[in-house]
Amino acid sequence: MVREQIEARGVRDPAVLAAMRAVPRHKFVPERYLDQAYADHPLPIGYGQTISQPYIVALMTEALKVKPGDKVLEIGTGSGYQAAVLAEMGVEVYTVEIIPELARSAEERLRELGYTNVRVLNADGYNGWPEHAPYDAIIVTAAPDHLPQPLVEQLKPGGRLVIPIGPPGSVQTLWLFVKREDGELDAFNMGAVRFVPLVRER
Ligand code: SAH
């Protein structure tokens, strides 16, 4: 998976490649998709949600440029796979999931696999997780139609935010935002992606 789908497409950060090799992706997919656990596409995880394509996980993780000890916020825990990849890199992961059942099962799975540096919250991630802010990096794995201001506010100066933005049910643009010391954002277009929509709590 790592050699053919990830390195071959240009992801080169050794820490990211090592983390992708270390996390047992088959523990994060439903039993009936076990034979496809390392295949080059997203997979259903129930509740209309998906575990992302391995390449996209690697691409987004590389863009965050995290180092051990960093504090990282993830919005959209899903299976917990992306959180586990970040945890393997030695960062402190705070991850928010809006569907209670997914939050609970991801938390259990991560605990069973021994990832003690991940904390899961069941809430609407549009609002981030203010109690632990500010974060060195923020990764959003569901697509809103605009950049949520609370996430910008919870990012440290110098911090990096990776997020798909666009209309639901369509192709979105993956953006990397880098917060300057003066608080302004520099934006980099990372290409077209397709994520499930970021839904709002009502
Ligand atoms: N990162 C996940 C895949 C994400 S799928 C993995 O590695 O498996 C997107 C997830 O975002 C879904 O689980 C969905 O329920 C969740 N989600 C959607 N809107 C959300 C919101 N407002 N806050 C938090 N999570 C949300």
Q: Which domain holds residue 10?
A: 2-193
Question: pTM higher than 0.95, yes or no?
Answer: yes
pLDDT of 169 above 90: no
200 is a domain residue = no
CB of 54 closer than 6 angstroms to any ligand 1 atom = no
Q: What confidence score (pLDDT) does residue 192 get? A: 97
CATH at 107:
3.40.50.150
Nearest atom, ligand 1, residue 84 CA: 7
84 in ligand 1 pocket by Cβ < 6 Å? no
Determine the distance separating the centroid of ligand 1 and the alpha carbon of 10, expressed in angstroms: 26
**Ligand 1 centre distance from Cα of residue 1 (Å):** 23
Q: 128 CB under 6 A from ligand 1? A: no
Task: Ligand 1 pocket test: pick from 64, 99, 165 the residue with the most ligand atoms within 8 Å of its Cβ.
Answer: 99
Q: Within a domain: residue 202? A: no
| Long-range pairs, 111-119, Cβ under 8 A, ≥24 | 113/24, 113/27, 113/84, 115/83, 115/84, 115/87, 117/87, 117/90, 117/91, 117/92, 117/93, 118/80, 118/83, 118/84, 118/86, 118/87, 118/93, 118/94, 119/93, 119/94, 119/95
In this structure, is residue 136 part of a structural domain? yes
8 inside domain: yes
170 is catalytic: no
Please indicate, yes or no, if residue 18 is contained in any of the structural domains.
yes
- The number of beta carbons lying within 10 Å of the beta carbon of residue 167 is 10
Number of domains in the chain: 1
Residue-wise pLDDT for 175-184, tens only, equals 999 999 999 9
145, part of any domain = yes
Asked if the structure places residue 62 within a domain, the reply is: yes
Arithmetic mean of pLDDT, 79-108: 98
